[in-house]
Amino acid sequence: MNVMDLIGNTPLVELKKTSSELDGVSIWAKAEFRNLSGSVKDRAAKAMLMEGIDRGLLRPGKTIIDSSSGNTGIAYAVLGAVLGYPVRIYLPANASRERKTILACCGAALVETSPLESSDGAYLAAKAEAEAHPDKYFWPNQYNNDANWKAHYNSTGVEIWEQTAGKVTHFITGMGTSGTFTGTARRLKEYNPKIQVVAVQPDSPFHGIEGTKHIASTIRPGFYDETLPDRFAEINTEAAYARTIRLAREEGLFVGISSGANVAAALDLGRSLPSGSLIVTVLCDSGFRYLSDELWGVDHG
């Protein structure tokens, strides 16, 4: 087996204790922390890099460059090591210490940008550097690369359909680049147009849910389609933190904050659904990437 074959085909797990809070509705989650570098972003990173190689855009002597809040950058770093390419990542300076350490350990060069400008600032800085030196860099541009969402159309959506034996009724997840939501939702809608797809975002431009975007107040990804979601769900940082803690303490799933946000939103959705509904969401990454985050030092009850 090639090490890159460790990307995809992640388990779908039932959140039994979480589902017990609902009346006949079950919540299941894709365990994306089981991917090679430890997050859902492995799927898109692999697709974008392989397409770059196939098109002759990523070739020996070039450096992979992009912006990231952490997970895509880590995926690039790991895959760059496998494929033999150096990696340069622009990320907000307030990204977790663990993410920065992993990036450095995997050999990526880090450029920290203003935390006040969030992921938009990192994106604009990477864009400027890549466009200034096109012969030096391969810029996947994850926010505007169709290979991003197609990775989930070709894998995540297919896996969810097969793992639920076609019984999934709702798919709900947060958006960063919106690639996971877009590709998975499009594939599931092709299987069954009655499946409801729900896009989650923070309820405020100023939030603590790393890896997600408040779409109305940030630069929109090029492939973002606001007509695709059947509905939108907003979640606040406190609810995401609290559910993240409960996933660890009640389900034995030590996952990151965006995963907590997804499950909190899925639970809110489930309260309005009829018995027999089957919700699928995404556990984006591991809690080990956020050990220094203040949420672990707070008693949420």
Catalytic residues: 41, 258
- Cα 214 to the center of its chain, rounded Å: 14
DSSP 8-class letter at 117: G
Are 231 and 153 within 8 A, CB to CB? no
Strand-strand pairing, 109-113 and 137-138: unpaired
Buried b (16+ CB within 10 A) or exposed e, 235-255: bbbebbbbbbbbbeeebebbb
Cβ neighbours, 10 Å, residue 101: 12
Strand-strand pairing, 12-14 and 231-235: unpaired
Are 173 and 209 within 8 A, CB to CB? no
Task: Give the Cα separation of 157 and 154 in Å (integer).
Answer: 7
44: enclosing H helix or E strand = helix 41-54
Q: Which residues sit opposite 201 in a β-bridge?
A: 234
Strands (E), 76-221: 87-92, 109-113, 137-138, 170-174, 196-202
